[in-house]
Structure 1
Amino acid sequence: MPFGLRRDVRRPDDSPRTDRVSFIELFFDLVFVFALTQLSAYLYENQTPLGAFEGAIMVLALWWAWVSTTWVTNYLDPVKLPVRGAVIGLALIALMLSVSIADSFGERAWIFAIAYVALQLGRVVFVILATWRHDRTLARRFVRILVWTIVASTFWIGGALLPLEWQLPFWGVALTVEYLGSSLGFPVPGVASDRADDELSGAHIAERAALFVLIAIGEGLLVTGFTFVELEISVEAVLALFGAFVAAAAMWWIYFDRGERLGSEIIEKSDSPGRLARLAYTYVHLPVIAGIVLTSVADKELLSHPLEQSPSTVVAVLGGPALFLIGTLLFRRVLQHRWLVTYLAGILALGILAAASPTMTPIALGLSATAVLVAVAAAETIVRVRSGHRSGG
C-alpha cells in the first residue's frame, strides 16, 4: 500500500502565495502571545540564578517549537486543508504547552514535557506523511529529524519524571540535542543526508520571523499596560510607562527600518539560502527574542519597584536591551558580513551604564537604557539616509 498523503500539499513555486504568510500561520502565532506573557510572568516571579537558568530553558524551548513549525509551513502550503488542519492541531498542543509554563518546573512539568514532545514529534511525522510520495529528498530529511527528535524526547519525558534536581539538566540535554542536530544537518547513519532546504522562500521566512518579533514587542506592551492599570498613578509609574513605550518603539525601529527587508532580499540571492536562513533566523534571532522578553520583565519591575535597586533589576533593565542589540548586530553581520558601529556603540554604552548602576535608581537606569536604544535607532537611520538606502517598513 503506498505510503503518505496522495495529495501534494507542498508550497507552489510559481504562485502569488509562494512567499505569502497565511492567516492560519497568524492564528498559530496567537498562541505564542499567551506563551510569551506566561514566560515574562515566570521570569518576573523567579529573579534568581536558578530562575534565570529555568527561564533560559523556557525561551529556548518556546523559540524552537515556534521556529520549527515556521520551517514546516515554508515547505508545505497552509492553504491546503490537510496542512491547515495540522497547524490548528499544533496550535492546540502549543496552548497546552503555554498553560503549563508557570509551573513547568513544578507539578505541571509532565504536562509541559508531553505537550512539547507531542508538538515536535507530531509536526515531523506529518511532514513525512505529506512529502513521502512527492518529495522523497525532503521526506528523508525529516526522517533524520525524527530520529534526533525521538532522542531529545526521551530526555524531555525523563526530566519531567525524575526529581526536580534532575529536571533542569535533562531538559538542557534535550535542547542541546535538538539545536546541535539542526546545526549538523541531523546526520543519521544509513539515511541519505542530502540537503533539502535550498529551495525555500526567503521572503516567507523573513516575514514570519519579523511577525514574531512584532508579537514579542506587543507582548511587552501588553504586560506593561496591565501592570500600569493596577497601580496608583505616580510620577515614577508614568515615567516607567513612557520609557517602556519608547523602548518598544526604538526596538521596532532598529529591527524594521532596514534589517527586516534585507533578510528576504539577501536570502533570495544567496547560493545557499537554506544555510543562510537557518543561521540568520533559527539561531541569531534567539537573542533578539530573549532580549525583548527580558525587557518586558524589566518594564514590569520598574513599574512595581521604581526606586528599589537590586542585582536582578540591573540584569533585567540592561540585559534585555543588550541581548536585543547583540542579536540584531549578529543578524546584520550574517547578512551583510560587517560589524555595524552604531550597534557596537550601543552595547558599549550599556556596559558603561552597568558600571554606573550602583549610583542610579532603577527608573533612572531604565530611562538611560531606553535612551541608548533611541540613540542607536537614530544613528542607524542617519547612516541609512546618508547612504541612500530606503527603509524597510
Structure 2
Amino acid sequence: MIGTKRVRFQPVAEGATVTQLELFFDLVLVFAFTMVTGLVADDTSAKNVVRALLVLAVMWWVWIAYAWLGNVVRADEGFTRVAMFVAMGGAFLAALTIPEAFRDMDGGWFGPLVFAIAYLLVRLVHLVVFWMASTEDSQLRGQVVKWGLGSIAIGTTLLVIAATTTGRVQIGLWIAAIVGDMLWTMFAGEDWRVNSAAHFAERHGLIVIVALGESIVSIGIGVAGLPISWPIALASMLGLAVSGLLWWAYFDVAALSVEHELKRAEGERQIKIARNCYTYWHFPMIVGIIALSLGLKKVLYYVGDSSHHTLTDALYGIPLFALYGGVVLYLIALVGFKHYATRTVTVPRVVAAVLLLALTPLACSLPALVSLAVLCAVLVGLILWETLRYAQPRDEIRHGAHAG
C-alpha cells in the first residue's frame, strides 16, 4: 500500500505474532467470562444456564470477528487501532450489561436493548474496517460484502428485536440470531484470507488461556472472605491442577499439530481449517472451560463455607454437570479440533470423556471434594498415558523438523 493507505491500514505479514493491542482487547473477554460465570452461579436453573450460554456465544462472536480482522490488518496500526478501541468500548458495554441482557433491572437504561445496540455497534465497526481494508483485494471485498449483509441482517437485527420481547419468544430469537449467524458464516464462502497462520493459531491459543484464567479466578472467588483451611487448600490445588491439565491437553501437542496443518494448507483448505477448527471447534472448548469454572466455584464454596455445608456434602445438579460435563465437552471439542485438520482421532480423550460421563452419577453421591479429586485423577491418567504411549510422535511434533 502507498500514500495515505499505508497510514490507514498495514497488512499482517506472514509469520507475524499477536499484537499487544489484541491482548488488551482480550481483557474485555476476561471480564465477560467472569460475568457469564457469575450469571449462572447466582441462578443455576436450566433457563438461566441457557441464557448464559447464549450470552457467551454472542461474546465469542465478537471476539472471533476481530481475531479474523487482526489477521488481515495489524490491529495496532493506523485506522484499525482507533477502530479496535471503539469496538472494545462497545464490547465492554455489552459485558457490563450481561446481567440485564434478558431482563431489565429497575432504574437506568433498558438493559436488553443496551446490550443489543452495543453488540450491533461492535459488529458494524468490524464490517466497516474489513470493507475498507479489502479495497485492493476484490475477492476479499466480495466475501466481506456477502458475509456482512447476511450476518448483520440475521445476527444483530434479531437480537435487537429480541430485546423488545420476553420469555420463550425472546430465547427463540436469540437462538435464531446466533445459529443463523454461525450457519451463514459457514456457507457464505471461503474467500477469506489467513495472512499469518502463526498469528491465527497464537490468537486462539491465547483465548484458551483467558478462559482457563477464569477457571482459576473462580477458585479464588469461591472462597473469597473465608479463612484458609486444609479443605480450601486441597480443593484449590486440585482445581488448579485440573486447569493445568486442560492447558496441557491443548498446548502440548494438539495446538501444534493443527497449527502445522494450517501452515501447510493452501487456498480453500486453509480457510476451512481456520474456520472449522478455530472459529467453531474452539467455541465448545470455551463453553466447557466456563462450565468448569462454575463447578470449581461451587466446590470451593462447599468445602469452605462450614456454616452452610459440611465436607460430606455432595455436589449435585447443574454445578456437578458443569464440573464433569464441562471437561467432557472440552475433551470432545479438542478431538474434533484435531481431527478436522489431521484426520486422526485421539482415542484416549474419547475414552476419558466417556469415563467421566459414566462416573457422573457416582459423583452425585460423593463429597464435593472427592468428586473434584476423581476428576483430577482421570485427567492425570489421560495425560500420563498420552505422554508415555505417544512419546516418539509427541517429540517429533514438538521438537522435530515441523516445529520450525
Do these two structures clear the TM 0.5 threshold for a shared fold by scoring above it? yes
**Does residue 45 of structure 1 match 2:42?**
yes
User: Where in structure 2 are the equivalents of 1:14-29 lying within 5 Å?
Assistant: 18-29=15-26
Tell me how far 1:284 sits from its aligned partner: 0.6
Tell me how far 1:36 sits from its aligned partner: 0.7
**Does residue 336 of structure 1 match 2:339?**
no
One-letter code of the match for 2:60?
A: W
Match for residue 312 of structure 1?
A: 318
User: Where in structure 2 are the equivalents of 1:191-340 lying within 5 Å?
Assistant: 195-271=190-266, 272-306=269-303, 307-340=313-346
> How many residues end up aligned between the 2 structures?
377
Match for residue 32 of structure 1?
A: 29
* Cα distance in 2 for residues equivalent to 1:318 and 1:206: 27
- Contact in 2 for aligned 1:353/1:365 (Cα 8 Å): no
- Contact in 2 for aligned 1:106/1:164 (Cα 8 Å): no
**Does residue 130 of structure 1 match 2:133?**
yes
Residue 382 of structure 1, aligned match among 368, 388, 393: 388
- Contact in 2 for aligned 1:357/1:365 (Cα 8 Å): yes
Deviations 1:203-251 (A, max 9, x none): 1111000000001111211221233232233433222211110001101
- Contact in 2 for aligned 1:78/1:84 (Cα 8 Å): yes
Describe the SS at the equivalent of 2:157: helix
Tell me how far 1:175 sits from its aligned partner: 0.6
* Cα distance in 1 for residues equivalent to 2:12 and 2:31: 32
* Cα distance in 2 for residues equivalent to 1:64 and 1:372: 32
Give ranges in structure 2 of 5+ residues lacking alignment.
105-110, 304-312
User: Where in structure 2 are the equivalents of 1:364-375 lying within 5 Å?
Assistant: 364-375=370-381
Match for residue 191 of structure 1?
A: none
- Contact in 1 for aligned 2:198/2:263 (Cα 8 Å): yes
Tell me how far 1:12 sits from its aligned partner: 4.4
Describe the SS at the equivalent of 2:70: helix
One-letter code of the match for 1:179?
A: M
Deviations 1:237-284 (A, max 9, x none): 222211110001101111111112222211110132111110100001
Tell me how far 1:308 sits from its aligned partner: 4.2
- Contact in 2 for aligned 1:321/1:373 (Cα 8 Å): no
- Contact in 2 for aligned 1:206/1:264 (Cα 8 Å): yes
**Does residue 161 of structure 1 match 2:161?**
no
Deviations 1:191-213 (A, max 9, x none): xxxx4225532211110000000
- Contact in 2 for aligned 1:19/1:204 (Cα 8 Å): yes
Deviations 1:329-381 (A, max 9, x none): 11111122111121012112202211322331222112111221222222222
Describe the SS at the equivalent of 2:163: helix
One-letter code of the match for 2:100?
A: D
- Contact in 2 for aligned 1:121/1:149 (Cα 8 Å): no
Give ranges in structure 1 of 5+ residues lacking alignment.
187-194
Aligned in 2, Cα 1:169/1:245: closer, same or farther, shift over 3 Å?
A: same
Residue 87 of structure 1, aligned match among 84, 87, 103: 84
* Cα distance in 1 for residues equivalent to 2:257 and 2:350: 19
TM value normalised by structure 2: 0.88
Describe the SS at the equivalent of 1:161: coil
TM value normalised by structure 1: 0.91
Tell me how far 1:94 sits from its aligned partner: 0.9
One-letter code of the match for 2:41?
A: Y
Residue 180 of structure 1, aligned match among 173, 179, 183: 183
Match for residue 149 of structure 1?
A: 151
One-letter code of the match for 1:380?
A: E
- Contact in 2 for aligned 1:97/1:112 (Cα 8 Å): yes
